[in-house]
């Protein structure tokens, strides 16, 4: 293989990796799954709880909260990429009350949760 005088094999490899990362569908790294949460209540949502089995809940970081009328986009941790499509969700409001658990299908495109 004949290389241009100024190009080293390392430079060619780095250039190829950068070029492949820019192609749609061939990006390096795991896919990122996201969804929107719309607060349709009069209380700020302070925490969003998620569970596959409806019994043991983890939570999403919603920062300072989701104010009434606001929408927020949340991203699943990449460790959940091979998980189930359906999850139970509950909102925890500023007054400490929790909503009922609701099952959502996260395989649905452009999913928006409403509480």
Long-range contacts of the stretch 14-17 (C-beta < 8 A, 24+): none
Q: What is the pLDDT of residue 30?
A: 52
Greater model confidence, 67 or 10: 67
Q: Tell me the domain boundaries of the chain.
A: 31-114
Residue 87 has pLDDT above 90, yes or no: yes
- Is the predicted pLDDT of residue 8 greater than 70, yes or no? no
Q: List the one residue out of 91, 107, 104 whose CA is nearest residue 31.
A: 107
**Backbone phi and psi for residue 97, each to the nearest 5 degrees, phi listed first:** -70, 150
Q: Which CATH architecture has domain 31-114?
A: Sandwich (2.60)
- The tens digit of pLDDT for each residue in 31-41 reads 778 999 999 99
User: What's the chain's average pLDDT?
Assistant: 79
Is the model's pLDDT at 70 over the cut of 60?
yes
pLDDT in tens, 11-66: 334 334 344 344 443 344 457 789 999 999 999 999 999 999 999 999 999 999 99
CA gyration radius for the chain? 21
The predicted model scores a pTM of 0.69
> CB under 8 Å to 55, separation ≥6 — which residues?
none
């Amino acid at each position: 293989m004949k290389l241009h005088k100024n190009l080293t094999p390392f430079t060619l490899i780095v250039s190829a990796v950068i070029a492949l990362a820019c192609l749609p569908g061939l990006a390096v790294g795991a896919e990122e799954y996201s969804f929107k949460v719309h607060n349709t209540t009069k209380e700020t949502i302070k925490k969003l709880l998620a569970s596959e089995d409806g019994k043991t809940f983890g939570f999403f970081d919603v920062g300072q909260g989701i104010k009434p009328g606001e929408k927020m986009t949340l991203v699943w941790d990449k460790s959940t990429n091979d998980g189930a499509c359906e999850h139970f969700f509950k909102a925890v409001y500023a007054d400490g009350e929790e909503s009922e658990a609701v099952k959502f299908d996260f395989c649905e495109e452009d999913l928006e949760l409403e509480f």
